[in-house]
Each structure stands twice: as structure tokens, then as C-alpha cells.
Structure 1
């Protein structure tokens, strides 16, 4: 008996549609019904595109009936983060300034998902302009983790994580400039990969070079590693308008089945510099032997990565300030006045970031690049000996809305993101994924798996090996 569509993976749905066990309209109708029934629980969606989804599903059925070649995601529902454009659908970016903005073209990765046959069913929630590691805004409100909606889903792809974890959709790509794919993947118990910079095109305008300060990229999010790899295959590849994009090197889906006997894994739950809650450490300790059972070599290490948490955060914030100032300039070019009449339309924290923030001097930026280089060299030294580094994704479990942690295990931290072990990889552009590792008091814990640049297939292979030995598909609330 074929399972109901909303309990199936993207890969399973694609096979069922090709085999005639489900039609695209049946799949989309079931998906939209579940979104109607449950979306308010976590507030995962900003916009549900019922009419567009049904039109796309009908077109997918016509292609089947007429014997046309079918894409790898033919008829599979997908949700798009509300920072990215779907032609004819509003993109609010979580801001009152863009509450009624309608996109006139697809973002490049959205166009590629459509070309692979995917059906867009809606837009997922994000903090205003994606600036935040929890998800809340004045357009749609806050988004909670499916495991406890009173707790944060992470950000900035928090709507995507919640939509996946509550089985509203099988695919929901995010974007990651400091952990925005991996943090919600950890807090929502799903899989999220920040690929090597350039693997997925990110056509930014008016500044085509904005995505290097720090490195920012779209990344696949799904409930299974195979689904993430399938969507990465569909989205990856060079784009003439992205100066950082690179040609596709390999099949990421093939990496899912690859043996890991030749992989050497370094394991450090805290990366040597971050506080991690003892309960989170315990979950990781229970999960790490699965790599050895899969055939990989695992060594516990205490790495010297050439920087500490404070240095890494300071460098990250210096570079991010440049990005925030670019956002201010972009808003002014569009006719908004964030310093004057439109100031009240922005949330106060965003005013602090993009309007009242001091711009770094060129000397401060250069000093941040020196720290960034030390981070790069520290990882290069480690990856000269090991293929992958496994750590916690974040040092804590999902916390209640508005109660960012100020300390972990007795160590004071910067509350906005001092608990995330993610931003170093946005300084270097290396691939890093968050994979479900277990639970603490019913709340999910993510494990971060990272490799050197262009070792995305290694990260995927190790992720799939862990999933085969510690499957989590039946752990979602329903």
C-alpha cells in the first residue's frame, strides 16, 4: 500500500508519480490540505500559493499524459523562503516595506527547481530581510519549532525548518549567511546543508558581489539526506550573473549511497572554542559511534583553529555590517527612507543594524579579513589530516521565544548568536550540514558535519551513513 503523500519523501513522491501511483494534483491537494490544517500551529508559511500550485500540478499531469520527459522532482511540492522570488507571488522579505511586493521573475534556483518539475506551494517565514537567527517579523509573526511551537524554530530559514518538521512539504530550501540553514535544521529536527560557496548560484542585485561579506548561499533543506541531495542536484551549477558560482562537479544523489570506509572524521563537540550544553554533548556522544559502525575512522580531537569565539564573532559582525549597509543603500535606491519617514516601518533591532550601525573603517575590515584568514588556515591544517569535522550545530536546544540564552554551562555568551557553531564556515565558504542527532527532553539536537571546500559529496556521504544507522523519519510530531 502506498503511504499518504504527506508522509512520503520527495524521492518517494517522485517515484510514485512516475509509476502512476499518485497524480501530481492528488499530491498537491493533499499537501495544501495539510498546510491548511496545521500551518497555524508553527506559523511556517507567509503565503500559500493554492492557485499557482494547482496550475503547476495540472501542467505536470499534462506532461505525463503526453509522454513528455519528466524531471527528477516532477510533481513534488516545494516551499520557497520569503527572501527569494517566485514569479507572480509576493516576496515580503519579512518587512512591512515589502508587504505587497510582487516578484516579476523567479530566483535562479527557483527556476531550476521548476525546470526539474517541482511544484511551488508557498513561501516560508523569515525574520525581516533574513537578519536574525530566530524567525519573527511584523508581517507574519513568529515561527516555532514543530516539537514545541512555544520555542524558536531558528533562523533565518525558520519557516522552512518548521514546514519540513511538521510534514507540510518535503522540500524547502533556505539560505545561509551565518547558519540560517543549519540552525533551523537543528531546532526543527531536519537536514540542512550549506554547500560550498558557488555550488548554488545566488544572483544578487544591484551588488553582484555582496554575497562574500560574509559568504552567503542558498542551501537545500529536507527531512532526508537523499531528498536534500536530489534538490541540490536540481539547483546546482554555474550562472553567468553570479561571479562566485562554479560548474557542477558531480552527482550529489550518487554520494548518498557512497561507502564511507575511506573517511577520517575529527570529532570535537565544541570545536575547541564554543560552550555546549552537557545534555547536547551527551546526545552527540551517543550518535558519533554510528560513523565507526559505518566504516569511517573517528578521532576525538581538541583542535586549534587559530581563533576563539569572540574573535570569530567580531570578524563576522564587521563583515556583516558592510552587508547591512548595502541593504540600507538598496532600500534607499528603491525610494524608501529608512532614516526618516520609513524608519517606523522597520523593527527597532533592524534600525540598530542597518541605520544606526557605525560603518567599519577599511582598516577594521582588513583586520577582520586577517582573522578570517586565520580561521581558513586553522581549518586547512585540520583538513590536511582529516576529511570531515563533526561538532554540535548549536550549543543548546530550542529555547522559548524571546529568551535568548545568555550563558551555556556556566559560560557567558553573546545572546544573539554566541550559541551557534555555524558562522566560521560562512567566513571560509566551506560546506557544512546539520543532521538530526537525537533529542533532549523531546527537543531536537543537530550535529554539524563540515568538510574542506568542494567536499560536499563527503559531507553528504557521511550524513547518509549516519541516517542509515540512526534514522529519525518517525520522530516527527503529528
Structure 2
């Protein structure tokens, strides 16, 4: 495998099984790429170099000895540096007080990836506790999109998306509570899939019910639709320690990527009714959505029926998301780590501000927000009464520029088309679907001035296979693989 060659994870797995590629050689190639390319990107917080080499040797021996192999046997991957624990690997949460924290057990889905034979080469960068739609923190700074190093990779799974786009790994895991898989997928020109709520089980402690709102989910980031389906096939499924995990429904995501979408009805919303959209994004997505008609589907522009303004939606997300942060902080405090008490000066100022603003929310206010979230859910479900899919831009702007000063961090835009927006999340058309738990993907729709633009494909609850089918059809008609020639070397 030469430096300029970037096989998909599916191709790698097949070649490894056939014996035409050596797992140690493959691992070394990707570690070399990581060393060569990540200095500019800043995608990795921790590199598990020696562990990856040892695991590659073991995986090669298992192959030689005829052991039962998992679907990702010998394939290098990366995992996020948030709540995606890997035993013995440092996990910072993008937070300075946790620079030396090392978890003692794996996350459920990390266990499943390892059982499938994947080789984890490192942990990828994220904003502090994933609190915003760009990746920048006080631990190692911003992560860039490989398409332009002056622009951010998006967040919060920015390190994972940048690593995949740059060919450092063919697959990476991400987490999504407001668009954190889809936003960086859009900014880095890769494919990101956020599955139906709790299709991927999570063993969260001390609060097993922590992420019921917003809907935090785990999913894949890849260069191809099939690779994302392969990774999700591995991670999906219930777990007895996750009281909210959905039962196995027999979905086959890889097979779904090859299905026809002829006859499907697609509702196209250029702005989710209420979001201002940059004209560069609008023109790319307006053209890209027509590919579904080529594939035999019908596309109709619709109104979703959302009653709140984009500012009200963003405020709602912040309040609901920060409620989970307060629960997380209580968990840390019970372990002797009082972040707001002892480490306030080491935290991102915006994070502290929002924690303080939401500290005294009453249960009555909380339930009032649940009513508002229900209104969003009902509006979206009304669309699915008539249509099979909803398509929107993923985010309202092209990738934002990295902040270069030492006194501030990168955030999203404060204004689009002369209209004020919330810089943490208000420019992202992703988070309303975290309120509702629908499966949603971001797919590369095209480029504007050399920067990637993403298109969001949303399915009805539990209809993940339909999203994969539409994604596969779009990829066949408008492939984006050639865009990586701009950044591959």
C-alpha cells in the first residue's frame, strides 16, 4: 500500500482476509501518515503507536492461525477523546483538568470495535466536553479541515472527521448530541452517520439515564457510505447496562447501501423554515438534491412547520444540553473533581458561562422545554406522514476560520445574511434532529471556493436503512472521491 493509495475500510478488510496485505505493514503505513500529516491538522490528542503495533502483530497471527475474524480485522481506526473510553489510553474530554485522566474500562462500542478486529491508532480532538460545533480547546488547540488549514474541521468530532478526510485512518468513531458527527463531516468533506437514538448502546455511569435529552448518539465517520455502514453494523445493538438501548431489529446497513430508492418521496427543506443560509451553501445543496430525482425518487420543497425561531431552538438546545453537563459535573464531583470549584480558571470561559446560566433551572422550566421539543418532534413527524426522507443543508455556512489569537477560541459565525445567530450551535441545521432521535447523515454535496459543503439526509425513526439507501444512491450518481485528490499526497 503506497503513500498515495487510500483504500476504503471495506477494501482493506477484504485484502487482509485474502492475505494480500500484511496487517503490521498496513498499520505502519497509517502510523507513518499520522506522523506526517497530523502536525498541520492537529486531529489527534493521543497516538497509541506501540499498542497499535502490538495489536497488529496479534491480529496477523490470528489471521495466519485461522482464527475467527471480525469484519474490521486489521483495519486501523480512530476514536474520539470525549466519553469514548479506551482502557489504558489517556482521555482528556478536551479539558485541561483531565489531561492525565486514564479510564479503567472501555466504552461499550469501543469493546465492539475491538472485538471486530479494529486497530485503534489514537484518540481524536474535540472541544471541551463537546460543547460547540467547532473543534478547539485549551489542551491542544484547533483542528483544521484538510481542505484548507486556515479553516476549522467542525465539531465536536472534528479530529475524527479531519483524520478520515486526510487519509490518516479510513474510519473513525464520533459522537453526536447536536450535530457533532454531521457538522465536522460537512466541514471535512466526508460522510457521517448519526443513527436512530440509542441504536448504539452506551453504558453511562453514574447516571444511566443521563443522555435522554438531547439525544446523544454514537456513529461512524468515513470516506465512503459503505464503510460507515460497515462500522455501524459492528457498533449497533442493545446492552443490558443501557436501559435506553433499542432492541436489535435485524437491520443490515451494508446491504441497504445498495438498495434502489426509486419511488421514494423526499421532502427538501432549504432552511428548516427558520435558519438563515449562506448563499454559497444554498446553491450547492439546491443542485445536489436533484441527484435523488436521477435515482428515481421524487423531490418536493416543503415547509416543516417549526414554530420556534432559530434563536429559540438554539437556546432550547443549550438549556437541555447543559442539563446533562450539570449531571456530568456532579459525577466528577462525587469522584473528588470539583471543576467549577477548583478548576474554573482552566475551563473554557464560554463553557463556564453557560454552566452558570443554567445552574438554577427549575424542573418546571425544564418540562416547559420538553413541551417545546415535542412541538419540534410533531412537526417533523407530520412530514414523515407523507414523505420517506427529509433533506436539508447540514450547516448554514462553509467551514469557519480558525481563531489565531491566544486569548480566544474558535466559534461559529455570529451573523449570517445580516441576521444574528448563536455562535455555538445556531448555524447548524443538525440539532433539531437530536431533539427527536431521528437517524440523519451528512453527505458531501460539493465544494464552494475549495471548501466542502454537506447535505443532511434525515429518515423516520428506526429507518436508518432508508438513509443509507439514499446515501448510497447519491454517492453512485455524484461521487466525491476525486475531491480527496486536493489533499492526498
Give me the TM-score of the superposition, normalised by structure 1: 0.97
Relative to structure 1, is the Cα distance of residues 297 and 356 closer, same or farther in structure 2, using a 3 angstrom cutoff? closer
Structure 2 residue aligned with 1:245: 245
Instruction: Give the SS at the match of 1:101.
Output: coil
Deviation at 1:91, TM superposition (A): 0.9
The answer on whether the counterparts of 1:6 and 1:31 sit within 8 Å (CA) in structure 2 is: no
CA distance in 2, matches of 1:281, 1:70: 45
The answer on whether the counterparts of 2:304 and 2:380 sit within 8 Å (CA) in structure 1 is: no
Deviation at 1:348, TM superposition (A): 1.7
Instruction: Give the SS at the match of 1:105.
Output: coil
Deviation at 1:64, TM superposition (A): 0.9
CA distance in 1, matches of 2:302, 2:285: 14
Deviation at 1:97, TM superposition (A): 1.5
Deviation at 1:393, TM superposition (A): 0.4
* 1:223 maps to 2:223: yes
Q: Counterparts in 2 of 1:191-270, with a 5 A limit?
A: 191-249=191-249, 250-270=251-271
Structure 1 residue aligned with 2:480: 472
Instruction: Give the SS at the match of 1:172.
Output: strand
The answer on whether the counterparts of 2:164 and 2:222 sit within 8 Å (CA) in structure 1 is: yes
The answer on whether the counterparts of 2:314 and 2:422 sit within 8 Å (CA) in structure 1 is: no
Structure 2 residue aligned with 1:34: 33
The answer on whether the counterparts of 2:412 and 2:427 sit within 8 Å (CA) in structure 1 is: no
CA distance in 1, matches of 2:91, 2:387: 42
The answer on whether the counterparts of 2:209 and 2:243 sit within 8 Å (CA) in structure 1 is: yes
Structure 2 residue aligned with 1:442: 450
What do you get for the CA RMSD once the two structures are aligned? 1.4
Larger mean CA deviation between 224-233 and 245-254 belongs to: 245-254
Extract structure 1 runs of 4+ deviating beyond 4 A: 2-6
Deviation at 1:350, TM superposition (A): 2.1
* 1:430 maps to 2:438: yes
Structure 2 residue aligned with 1:318: 319
Instruction: Give the SS at the match of 1:439.
Output: strand
Larger mean CA deviation between 350-359 and 212-221 belongs to: 350-359
Larger mean CA deviation between 450-459 and 322-331 belongs to: 322-331
The answer on whether the counterparts of 1:255 and 1:458 sit within 8 Å (CA) in structure 2 is: yes
The answer on whether the counterparts of 1:185 and 1:446 sit within 8 Å (CA) in structure 2 is: yes
* 1:333 maps to 2:322: no
Instruction: Give the SS at the match of 1:475.
Output: helix
CA distance in 1, matches of 2:317, 2:77: 31
Q: Counterparts in 2 of 1:81-230, with a 5 A limit?
A: 81-83=80-82, 84-230=84-230
Structure 1 residue aligned with 2:463: 455
Instruction: Give the SS at the match of 2:172.
Output: coil
Structure 1 residue aligned with 2:65: 66
Return 5+ residue gaps in structure 1 as ranges: none
CA distance in 2, matches of 1:60, 1:446: 36
CA distance in 2, matches of 1:338, 1:119: 33
Structure 2 residue aligned with 1:302: 303
CA distance in 2, matches of 1:357, 1:121: 37
Structure 1 residue aligned with 2:371: 370
Deviation at 1:50, TM superposition (A): 0.7
The answer on whether the counterparts of 2:134 and 2:412 sit within 8 Å (CA) in structure 1 is: no
Per-residue CA deviations over 1:357-388 (Å, capped at 9, x if unaligned) read 43311111111111111111101110000000
Instruction: Give the SS at the match of 2:77.
Output: strand
Deviation at 1:314, TM superposition (A): 2.6
Structure 2 residue aligned with 1:9: 8
Per-residue CA deviations over 1:288-309 (Å, capped at 9, x if unaligned) read 1211111111112233134332
Deviation at 1:351, TM superposition (A): 1.8
Structure 2 residue aligned with 1:20: 19
Instruction: Give the SS at the match of 2:89.
Output: coil
Task: Say how many residue pairs are matched.
Answer: 477
Q: Counterparts in 2 of 1:38-49, with a 5 A limit?
A: 38-49=37-48
The answer on whether the counterparts of 2:143 and 2:152 sit within 8 Å (CA) in structure 1 is: yes
Structure 2 residue aligned with 1:414: 422
Per-residue CA deviations over 1:115-142 (Å, capped at 9, x if unaligned) read 1111010000011122221111122221
CA distance in 1, matches of 2:474, 2:3: 26
Relative to structure 1, is the Cα distance of residues 271 and 34 closer, same or farther in structure 2, using a 3 angstrom cutoff? same
Instruction: Give the SS at the match of 2:110.
Output: helix
The answer on whether the counterparts of 1:172 and 1:221 sit within 8 Å (CA) in structure 2 is: yes
CA distance in 2, matches of 1:103, 1:321: 23
Instruction: Give the SS at the match of 1:211.
Output: helix
Deviation at 1:403, TM superposition (A): 6.0
Relative to structure 1, is the Cα distance of residues 403 and 334 closer, same or farther in structure 2, using a 3 angstrom cutoff? closer
* 1:77 maps to 2:85: no
CA distance in 1, matches of 2:242, 2:5: 35
Instruction: Give the SS at the match of 1:275.
Output: coil
Deviation at 1:63, TM superposition (A): 0.8
The answer on whether the counterparts of 1:306 and 1:377 sit within 8 Å (CA) in structure 2 is: no
Give me the TM-score of the superposition, normalised by structure 2: 0.95
Larger mean CA deviation between 276-285 and 390-399 belongs to: 276-285
CA distance in 2, matches of 1:403, 1:124: 19
CA distance in 2, matches of 1:5, 1:172: 20
